[in-house]
Amino acid sequence: MAARENQQSGGGAWKGAMIGGLVGAAAALLFAPKAGRELRSDLKVRANGAAGTLKTQASEWAVTARDAAKAVGAQASTIAGKVSEMAGPSKGSSSSSNSTNMTEQAHVDEAFNGTMVQDEQDAKRLGNDMKAMKTNHQLQEDSLVPDPIQD
């Protein structure tokens, strides 16, 4: 998550620098002592260059968005498959299969009882994640906003 925030803030900084550079260049051209025809020609050249840069960046963002959408779609399909497997017996199944599915359904109902973890492995993973998290005191030392729920 922190990596995603860094990427987003980096993208925002890049856009800000790009816009600032364009505004600065336009202002420099407008206030430079040139003839009108020469100034218009320079503005046209710079505008075309900026448009090309923006098209390139937009194309890169489109590829990134498309790849992210594919990944989300694949993950959603996987989850949907797992849910449909756990949803219950298919038509025409035997009674032993029904008892297995009822046990699986009880497990699913138990997993969604408001707990943070579903099994021991998940609990261990969560514990390791929490070990890596900073405390409110550490966040304040780093001049970051602490979590109000932790108090």
Q: What is the pLDDT along the chain (151 residues), one digit of tens a residue?
A: 444 544 555 567 788 888 888 888 877 767 767 677 787 887 788 888 888 888 888 888 888 888 888 888 888 888 888 887 777 555 444 445 555 566 666 655 555 555 666 778 888 888 888 888 888 888 889 888 887 776 6
* Helix 36-86 with 2-31: angle, nearest 10 deg: 170
- Of 123, 131, 8, the closest CA to residue 64 belongs to 8
Q: Rounded to whole angstroms, how far apart are CA atoms 113 and 150?
A: 23
Instruction: Give the pLDDT of residue 1.
Output: 46
Write 34-38 long-range contacts (CB < 8 A, 24+): none
Instruction: Give the pLDDT of residue 34.
Output: 67
Identify residue 122 by its one-letter amino acid code: D
Helix, strand or coil for residue 29? helix
CB 91 within 8 A of CB 101: no
- Of 133, 138, 136, the closest CA to residue 147 belongs to 136
Element spanning 146, H or E: none
Instruction: Give the pLDDT of residue 114.
Output: 59
